[in-house]
Structure 1
Amino acid sequence: MPLYIYDIAPDGTSTPTTDTAPTGARGYRWFHYDLKDPALPHWAQTHLHPIPAGALMQTETRPRCDVHEDGLMLNLRGVNLNLEGPADQMVAVRMWVTDQTVVTVRVRRVFAIEDLRQQIEAGAAPTTSAAFVEALASRLTARVQTTVFELADQTDALEDAIHDDENAPLPDTLASMRRTAIRLRRYLGPQRDALMALAATDIPAGSNPQHRRELANLAMLTVEELDGLQGRLTAIHDHHASKAAQAQNRNSYILSIVAATFLPLGFITGLFGVNVGGLPGVDTPAAFAILCVSMGVISGVALGVMRWLKWI
């Protein structure tokens, strides 16, 4: 059985029903199914054309908007607000819409549909199936925008932290933010195309072209914002990587200078440390002091030569 079925009248009132016929007496009938419902395949194959029936039962989907005969096959994505997954693991809504029938199928709970159901039960249902599609798409788009704007605010905070302190450590959240932006962009790019296709069709009857164009425009702005966020997050990562590379190069440079300075001293101490006879100064009390002064002079000469060569 569907999760719920409503007969929605042209005045916006609704009546729950258990009748599984695809149409009601007046207005349009809305079916909401779970994809795992064992009754869905039989119902879809019995009452729908094989093409929209197959589209409703696909396990993997991407956003789409295609006209088939007198109906509309529409797949949209929304952010996952369920507790069992992150927001960028987006939830899918599969739809088949005609003038008299709306069928929605989901795998995970879609809060935009729950919100629309509450509106329907309050007696303010969309008066046509076209208005239903636009209302659902509007709610999905609004929630997506909220998630993207929250990600933009987090990116602003990271950029402000760099502005305040260029040597600030790499944020722990940067990698997860980049993954979120990439995953959202993966689905919202096709969704933008689907909403643009929706704006270009007048199926089902009673559509609001201006509202559909606004939804397509919001989808385009969201995708452009995500493209900008990916670039900004990459720039933040590159800044921290550059700082880390500079610090490593500076440390390596200092170690090289120290090694170059002590290279001749190591040769001298190694030479005077051999256990053979005939070493100069063995019987001279001042020999050790002379050797230390000589080594200091050699170090100074080595540093002077490196500065003259502009190595330091």
Structure 2
Amino acid sequence: MRTPIELPDHHGLICGFGLRSQLPPQQLEWRTLTAALTEPYETVWLHFNLADVRARNWIATCDRIPQVARELLLTAEPHIQLEVLAEGFVSVLGDLHYDFDADPDNLGLLRMYVAPGWVISVRGRPLKAIDRLRVSLLHGAQIETSLDLMVHFLQHVTEIFGNVIVNLRAVVDEIEDRVLNGDFQEQRSEIGILRRRLARLRRHLNGNRQALTQYLLPRLPIWCRDTDVVELRRDLERLDAVMQDLELVQERARLLQEEMAGRLQETLNRNLYVLSIVTTIFLPVTLVTGIFGMNVGGVPWTQEPIGFWWTILTMVATLATTLMVLRRQQLF
């Protein structure tokens, strides 16, 4: 008889941590969550999966989360935004889906409510940056305050987007090498797809930067530590550096596409030039054959035994004259 295996039911709680200074993070489980919240933790982080209805119901009825924050955490609004509240702030920031493969559709959003000693984050699909934050806490990362947790999340976001941009830069380098070698016919669609990916990534990163720079920094809550604010500003500077790298790659992709279009147009013009020259060369010959091919009376040399050869000689003469005129005009 097989022993039944009981899988733990976390009610949509992906992970939970109780954070204290100078102590390793302590994992929190759903079945002990109510008791754990009474412990003297400096910060509690709860990360939920919105695909679980029970997690949505818990957030909707949690008195510790303001109504405005609850609405933004549970809404399906697909836009990056941030709103500062009386005791904290709630944000929707860009992240990458865990299975991101340079597909613009795999750009995800993380919703996070940050208050003194209290952080609630939710997502609909697995995300990379927030999962790296979870793993770092499992390995004993020292995080004390809720803003410090937010700062560590931004560090992972910057690192992940930086790696993606490095990979896209390598793709641009490869396409550029092919174009310089003359193989640009098959690269047109690829460079177009790449530019669309870069544009989506830029909107994603720029949304994060604007939300944090324009809405959060000028109105940071008074409970934020100076050290955390300094780290937040440093992370935003790193984010600006990543944005600059992205803009450089985007500019290179644009110039490369223009180079490919220029080379394609040059090839087309060269082919049209050759076609025009060939048409010009054989136009007099075609005229001669058309004249002598008319089935009417009075056509010269119809009764001559060598009339055919006189016609061939006329065609050769007109061809030589055409070539000489083109050569004098430096067209051939």
TM-score normalized by structure 1?
0.89
Deviation (angstroms), 1:278: 2.9
Q: Given that residues 195 and 212 in structure 1 are in contact (C-alpha distance below 8 angstroms), is that contact kept between their aligned partners in structure 2?
A: no
What is the identity, as a one-letter code, of the residue corresponding to 2:264? A
Deviation (angstroms), 1:144: 0.7
What is the identity, as a one-letter code, of the residue corresponding to 2:309? A
2:210 maps to 1:187: no
Please name the residue that 1:105 is paired with. Answer: 122
Give CA-to-partner distance per residue, 1:181-220, whole Å, 9 cap, x none: 1110121111121232444454352352221112111221
**For residues 91 and 231 of structure 1, do their structure 2 counterparts lie closer, same or farther at Cα, with a shift above 3 Å needed?**
same
Matches within 5 A, 1:1-312: 1=11, 2-13=13-24, 14-18=26-30, 19-20=33-34, 23-26=37-40, 27-46=42-61, 47=63, 48-82=65-99, 86=103, 89-163=106-180, 165-166=181-182, 169-171=185-187, 173-197=190-214, 198-203=216-221, 205-206=224-225, 208-312=228-332
What is the identity, as a one-letter code, of the residue corresponding to 1:187? H
Task: Extract unaligned runs of 5+ from structure 2.
Answer: 1-10
What is the identity, as a one-letter code, of the residue corresponding to 2:190? T
**For residues 122 and 257 of structure 1, do their structure 2 counterparts lie closer, same or farther at Cα, with a shift above 3 Å needed?**
closer
**For residues 304 and 167 of structure 1, do their structure 2 counterparts lie closer, same or farther at Cα, with a shift above 3 Å needed?**
farther
- Match of 1:284, SS state, is coil
Q: Percent identity, please.
A: 24
What is the identity, as a one-letter code, of the residue corresponding to 2:54? A
Greater Cα shift, 125-134 or 36-45? 36-45
Q: Given that residues 96 and 129 in structure 2 are in contact (C-alpha distance below 8 angstroms), is that contact kept between their aligned partners in structure 1?
A: no
Q: Given that residues 199 and 216 in structure 1 are in contact (C-alpha distance below 8 angstroms), is that contact kept between their aligned partners in structure 2?
A: no
Give CA-to-partner distance per residue, 1:133-176, whole Å, 9 cap, x none: 1111111111111101111122233334444x356544363233
Counterpart-to-counterpart distance in 2, 1:95 and 1:21? 23
Deviation (angstroms), 1:83: 6.5
**For residues 124 and 262 of structure 1, do their structure 2 counterparts lie closer, same or farther at Cα, with a shift above 3 Å needed?**
closer
Deviation (angstroms), 1:255: 1.3
Q: How many residues align?
A: 311
Counterpart-to-counterpart distance in 2, 1:63 and 1:22? 32
Greater Cα shift, 81-90 or 217-226? 81-90
Greater Cα shift, 10-19 or 238-247? 10-19
Deviation (angstroms), 1:117: 2.0
Task: Extract unaligned runs of 5+ from structure 1.
Answer: none
- Match of 2:169, SS state, is helix
- Match of 1:73, SS state, is strand
Q: Given that residues 79 and 147 in structure 1 are in contact (C-alpha distance below 8 angstroms), is that contact kept between their aligned partners in structure 2?
A: no
Counterpart-to-counterpart distance in 2, 1:173 and 1:275? 57
